[in-house]
């Protein structure tokens, strides 16, 4: 469930609140068994699948999508199906690996020291700050987002009670809960501005939110990390996250 938490969480989110924009969901099946699942809400195809039937399943998916002439901007998923799909989809054209990722799962929080301050739920008074931090996070992650999109994300997340802040003398770090599944929930947008880094704020923020979510009867928390950032990977492992799979985000150029 943690390995496939991204597509599963997206699908469950679509069921709970159907989006305004058109979405694409499909599966490759054999003998009534799902061999590959696909979901796309914004041009990026998200894959879930594995096992001995993966190669013919991905080939069937690529052929089907090519016939539908869908405008794909990229693919994300576990390394094997994502890389295979990219090779079949764009066999003679360049692709760009945007990010090598690792999927982590946490079942219990390790005892870590907490920095001064406390975890609190973000509210409307934090809107401008969160919109700014979302833009800074995306800039560091080399992800395009406009000021308007950042503000919309901040507004919807505040309304959904999804953003949390570590509050010292002022807000110093943020984290967002997202994509609940049957047994778990994901975290993303973990960010501490440069002037507040190396003080343990992100560790305190993430660890405290994980404790709170596990106390709310989620069995686990999960998240994606950038493998090029050893600092964040170490922080999460210190908190109690353990790797369960590698993922890759590929852009079609």
**Does 99 map to a domain?**
no
Q: Are residues 18 and 125 in the same domain?
A: no
pLDDT of res. 23: 86
Find out whether 97 and 136 touch, Cβ atoms under 8 Å: no
Contact (CB, 8 A) for 81 and 54? yes
pLDDT of residue 68: 85
Has residue 209 been placed in a domain? yes
User: In whole angstroms, what is the distance from residue 220 CA to residue 210 CA?
Assistant: 8
Residue 114 DSSP symbol: P
**Residue that is last in its domain, among 40, 59, 93:** 93
Q: Does residue 118 sit in the same domain as residue 54? A: no
Residue 63 domain-assigned (yes or no): yes
pTM: 0.91
Per-residue pLDDT at 41: 84
Residue 70 host element (H or E): none
Q: Are 53 and 35 within 8 A, CB to CB?
A: yes
Q: Closest by alpha carbon to 5, among 48, 58, 39?
A: 48
Per-residue pLDDT reduced to its tens digit, 5-28: 998 998 898 888 776 577 889 999
In a domain, 253, yes or no: no
Per-residue pLDDT of the chain (253 residues; tens, 9 = 90+): 999 899 899 889 888 877 657 788 999 998 888 999 999 988 889 999 878 889 999 999 999 998 888 888 899 999 899 999 999 987 767 788 989 999 999 999 999 999 999 999 999 999 999 999 999 999 988 787 899 999 999 999 999 999 999 999 999 999 999 999 999 999 999 999 999 999 999 999 999 999 999 999 899 999 999 999 998 999 999 999 999 999 999 998 7
Q: Based on the domain organization, do 131 and 218 belong to the same domain?
A: yes
Among 208, 132, 143, 128, CA closest to 175? 208
Q: Are residues 89 and 133 in the same domain?
A: no
Domain count for the chain, please give it. Answer: 2
Whether residue 133 sits in one domain with residue 81: no
Residue 53 domain boundaries: 5-93
Count other C-beta atoms under 10 Å from residue 168's C-beta: 16
Size (the chain), residues: 253
Whether residue 233 sits in one domain with residue 111: yes
Q: What pLDDT is recorded for position 20?
A: 59
């Amino acid at each position: 469930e943690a390995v496939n938490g991204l597509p599963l969480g997206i699908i469950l989110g679509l069921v709970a609140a159907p989006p305004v924009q058109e979405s694409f969901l499909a599966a490759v099946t054999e003998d009534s068994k799902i061999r590959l699942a696909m979901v796309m809400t914004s041009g990026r195809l998200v894959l879930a699948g594995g096992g001995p039937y993966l190669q013919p399943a991905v080939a069937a998916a690529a052929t089907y999508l090519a016939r539908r002439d869908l405008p794909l901007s990229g693919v994300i998923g576990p390394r094997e199906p994502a890389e295979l799909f990219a090779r079949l989809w764009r066999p003679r054209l360049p692709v760009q690996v945007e990010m090598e990722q690792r999927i982590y799962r946490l079942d219990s929080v390790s005892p870590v020291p907490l920095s001064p301050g406390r975890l609190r739920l973000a509210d409307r008074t934090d809107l401008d700050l969160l919109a700014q931090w979302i833009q800074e996070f995306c800039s560091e992650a080399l992800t395009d987002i406009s000021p308007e999109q950042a503000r919309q994300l901040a507004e919807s997340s505040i309304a959904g009670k999804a953003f949390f802040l570590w509050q010292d003398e002022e807000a110093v770090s943020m984290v967002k809960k997202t994509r609940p599944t049957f047994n778990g929930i994901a975290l993303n947008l973990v960010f501490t501005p440069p002037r507040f880094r190396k003080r343990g704020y992100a560790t305190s923020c993430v660890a405290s939110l994980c404790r709170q979510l596990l106390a709310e009867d989620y069995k686990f928390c999960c998240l994606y990390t950038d493998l090029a950032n050893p600092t964040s990977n170490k922080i999460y492992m210190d908190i109690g996250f353990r790797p369960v799979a590698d993922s890759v985000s590929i852009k079609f150029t």
